[in-house]
């Protein structure tokens, strides 16, 4: 059964034109999210994962811009839209939950009114009173007491504010929520609850979620499919079981080998040597080769091909290329 | 009496007064306090990596600051090597030779290094202030050696750089080097890797282990992350609202938690195994951690605990032995 695509990104390049050089933060990324899926985009700081999120939202901060590629959101190519058209799609088709979003709530405005304001702006309602019942429903959806609609942010705990932010992201019934490190800086118990809320909202509404994070254990726990991003490129993708049980790319293997777990035998962790590259001057060939223990001659010379194992299941690594191709 | 015990805390308390209006203080008739650390006792053995783990507001960082003299306890005593140090004001620590022995490694490599100093000067300052080097050559040698030990190699290349010229992982190594430059016996490491990317955390954690095996350094590792705690630690104390709720060998506490709070904490931690994660049953508490101002009476967890009984809201639970060197403070475990 073909699944409905909610988001399709093709060969996207988003670069920052800084005085020090061109930062190739997103450099040829393909990514797909289907309806009702929770897809994780994993990478270390500075790999370009947040820039990818900003590109989808049409909010790449200057001096950055989308250089080439396509971003289809249910068949509309966002890259071609004007700012005004984007503004209409933003929040109604795709919304975002930011890292620390709970601190971006307006402190002098009731939380319910902040959601109603967004609905007014997008002409879903014409008078504020019409929005109240919707907001109450949203609050129930995210497990908040509907009477909290007239609370101010300071009257709510961190976890409750995070729920308000999720309710706000759902206000216009979007097809996709981009959650950029939604639980970083929260305590583990709160984090677990928030992820449960997101999953629950997804189950009830069928919204797709693109989770952007560096937290591998979290990804293992909540996601259906995973994209691994390194230095502006997707190096591997697959379903969550394949990625964690039999990772193919040496970078994915390295990441998984570097993360301690509270379960299983205590093992010696092997940190990846070195640091991610400066994206103004990425290494030639495979961008991971200076840190890779399995690097061959060709890795430093030519960009690795994409080896497909199935739909939405590929790795970009010379190790998987046929002998004859490795020259 | 000290023997194998390097650090000992006895009924340690740290209360911070809450500023209230004059009227309010008259109406209330008493001052109110944030009870950051509220009657905590523990011992840290020589060459041990002891972990204090807890969530935001549990009092774990305050406990660490008390041990290095950055805060003075409201009451209770701290013994170091059998000697009472809790009465010694911080300004006299240097005179007593304590500064050289007890050091701290801070969390944020972006904020805890002076941006205007070379790495060399950052490391030279403690050596000069504490008068432990007698010549420029010795100063230079010691700094280079320490940079090598934290794997900033070649050291000459890193010594004359500013912090902003280093990556996050390299900065954190400088922070570790500064904590270790006086060759202390006891080091409090407060979330030393929480700001770093997962792929390089293990490197910095391994440094602690290396300093322990090479110089016999004793560590107090403070963290909210039980997975790294398990990786480096020997024994652990789980802290909630200013109190220890469970202590024991790290693996034992994490694999076989006895206190409801520890159970909830452990079950909330994501596991990098998708199959297990989908089967696992979470043990959940109600609500969120309350403020440490006027914490709940009796057991501090009782308003959030699904297993709470009558007695939990009335009386504080005793510490109960639940296994070899494993203790938990819960009425469910107590014989009544």
Report how many domains make up chain A: 1
Contact B8, B212 (CB under 8 A): no
Instruction: Tell me the pLDDT tens digit for each residue of B145-184.
Output: 999 999 998 999 999 999 999 988 899 999 999 999 999 9
Does the pLDDT value for residue A2 go beyond 70? no
SS3 letters across B111-126: CCCCCCCCHHHHHHHH
Alpha-carbon distances, residue B262 vs A258, B55, B239, B329 (angstroms): 25, 11, 9, 11
Mean pLDDT of the region B126-131: 92
Mean pLDDT of the region A148-152: 93
Q: What is the pLDDT of residue B124?
A: 95
On whether any CB of chain B is under 8 Å from the CB of A192, the answer is yes
**What is the ipTM, given to two decimal places?**
0.85
- Omega into A279 within 30° of 0, i.e. cis? no
On whether any CB of chain A is under 8 Å from the CB of B231, the answer is yes
Domain range spanning residue A186?
5-93+174-325
Antiparallel, parallel or unpaired: β B186-190 and B218-223: parallel
Lowest mean pLDDT among A77-81, A154-158, B30-34: B30-34
Count of alpha carbons within 13 angstroms of residue A6, beta-carbon side: 21
- Beta-carbon count within 10 A of A87 CB: 14
Q: What is the pLDDT of residue A1?
A: 54
Lowest mean pLDDT among B87-101, B140-154, B238-252, B257-271: B87-101
Does the pLDDT value for residue B1 go beyond 50? no
**Do the domain assignments include residue A205?**
yes
Q: What is the pLDDT of residue A275?
A: 82
From chain B, the residues in CB contact with A158 under 8 A are 288
**Do the domain assignments include residue A115?**
no
Percent of chain B surpassing pLDDT 90: 73
Report how many domains make up chain B: 1
The CATH number of whichever domain residue B153 belongs to comes to 3.40.50.300
Give ∠ CA B61-B65-B71 in degrees, rounded to 5: 125
Mean pLDDT of the region A264-281: 85
Q: How far apart are CA A201 and CA A52, in angstroms?
A: 24
Tell me what the pLDDT averaged over chain B comes to: 91
Domain range spanning residue B162?
5-333
On whether any CB of chain A is under 8 Å from the CB of B56, the answer is yes
From chain A, the residues in CB contact with B266 under 8 A are 262
Mean pLDDT of the region A234-244: 96
pLDDT band for position B29 (50/70/90)? low
Mean pLDDT of the region A312-322: 92
Instruction: Tell me the pLDDT tens digit for each residue of B53-69.
Output: 998 889 999 999 999 99
Does the pLDDT value for residue A326 go beyond 80? no
The CATH number of whichever domain residue A211 belongs to comes to 3.40.50.300
Does the pLDDT value for residue B143 go beyond 60? yes
pLDDT band for position A16 (50/70/90)? very high
Measured in angstroms, the CA of A195 and the nearest CA of chain B are apart by: 11
Q: How far apart are CA B313 and CA B303, in angstroms?
A: 8
CB within 8 Å: A221 and B275: no
Does the pLDDT value for residue A126 go beyond 60? yes
**Do the domain assignments include residue A303?**
yes
């Amino acid at each position: 059964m073909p699944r409905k695509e909610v988001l399709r990104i093709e060969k996207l390049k988003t670069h920052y034109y800084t005085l020090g050089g061109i930062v190739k933060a997103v450099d040829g990324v393909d990514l797909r999210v289907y309806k009702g899926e929770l897809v994780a985009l994993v990478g270390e700081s500075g790999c370009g994962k947040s820039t990818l999120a900003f590109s989808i939202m049409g909010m790449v901060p200057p001096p950055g811009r989308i250089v080439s590629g396509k971003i289809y959101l249910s068949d509309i190519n966002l890259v071609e839209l004007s700012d005004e058209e984007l503004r209409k799609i933003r929040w109604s088709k795709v919304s975002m939950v930011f890292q620390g979003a709970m601190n971006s709530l307006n402190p002098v405005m009731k939380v319910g009114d902040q959601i109603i304001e967004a609905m007014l702006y997008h002409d879903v309602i014409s008078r504020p009173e019409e929005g109240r019942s919707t907001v109450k429903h949203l609050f129930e959806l995210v497990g908040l007491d509907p009477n909290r609609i007239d609370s101010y942010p300071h009257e709510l705990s961190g976890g409750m504010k995070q729920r308000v932010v999720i309710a706000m992201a759902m206000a216009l019934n979007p097809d996709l929520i981009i959650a950029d490190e939604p639980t970083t800086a929260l305590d583990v118990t709160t984090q677990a609850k928030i992820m449960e809320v997101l999953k629950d909202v997804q189950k009830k509404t069928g919204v797709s979620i693109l989770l952007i994070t560096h937290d591998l254990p979290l990804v293992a726990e909540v996601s259906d499919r995973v994209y691994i991003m390194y230095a502006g490129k997707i190096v591997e993708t697959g379903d969550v079981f394949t990625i964690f049980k039999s990772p193919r790319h040496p970078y994915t293997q390295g990441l998984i080998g570097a993360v301690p777990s509270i379960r299983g035998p205590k093992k010696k962790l092997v940190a990846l040597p070195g640091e991610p590259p400066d994206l103004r001057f990425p290494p030639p060939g495979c961008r991971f080769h200076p840190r890779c223990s399995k690097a061959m001659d060709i890795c430093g010379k030519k960009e690795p091909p994409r080896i497909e194992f199935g739909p939405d299941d590929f790795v970009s690594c010379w190790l998987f290329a046929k002998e004859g191709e490795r020259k | 009496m000290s023997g194998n015990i390097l650090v000992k805390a006895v009924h340690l308390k740290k209360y911070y007064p809450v500023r209230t209006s004059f009227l309010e203080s008259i109406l209330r008739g008493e001052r109110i306090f944030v009870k950051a650390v509220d009657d905590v006792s523990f011992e840290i053995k020589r060459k041990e990596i002891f972990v204090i783990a807890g969530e935001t507001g549990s009092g774990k960082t305050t406990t660490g600051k008390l041990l290095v003299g950055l805060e003075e306890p409201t009451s209770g005593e701290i013994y170091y090597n059998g000697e009472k140090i809790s009465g010694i004001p911080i300004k006299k620590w240097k005179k007593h030779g304590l500064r050289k022995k007890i050091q701290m490694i801070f969390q944020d490599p972006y904020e805890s290094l002076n941006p205007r100093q070379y790495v060399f000067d950052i490391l030279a300052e403690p050596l000069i202030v504490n008068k432990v080097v007698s010549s420029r050559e010795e100063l230079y040698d010691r700094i280079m050696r320490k940079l090598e030990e934290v794997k900033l190699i070649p050291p000459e290349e890193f010594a004359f750089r500013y912090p902003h010229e280093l990556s996050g992982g390299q900065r954190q190594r400088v922070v570790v080097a500064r904590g270790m430059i006086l060759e202390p016996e006891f080091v409090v490491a407060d979330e030393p890797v929480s700001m770093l990317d997962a792929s390089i955390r293990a490197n910095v954690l391994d440094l602690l282990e290396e300093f322990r095996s090479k110089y016999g350094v004793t560590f107090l590792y403070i963290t909210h992350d039980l997975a790294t705690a398990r990786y480096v630690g020997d024994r652990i104390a789980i802290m909630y609202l200013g109190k220890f709720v469970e202590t024991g060998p790290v693996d034992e506490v994490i694999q076989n938690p006895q206190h409801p709070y520890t159970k909830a904490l452990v079950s909330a931690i994501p596991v990098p195994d998708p199959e297990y994660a989908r089967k696992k049953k979470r043990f959940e508490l109600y609500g969120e951690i309350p403020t440490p101002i006027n914490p709940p009476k009796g057991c501090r967890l009782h308003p959030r605990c699904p297993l709470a009984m009558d007695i939990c809201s009335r009386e504080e639970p005793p510490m109960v032995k639940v296994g070899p060197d494993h203790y938990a403070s819960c009425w469910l475990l107590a014989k009544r």
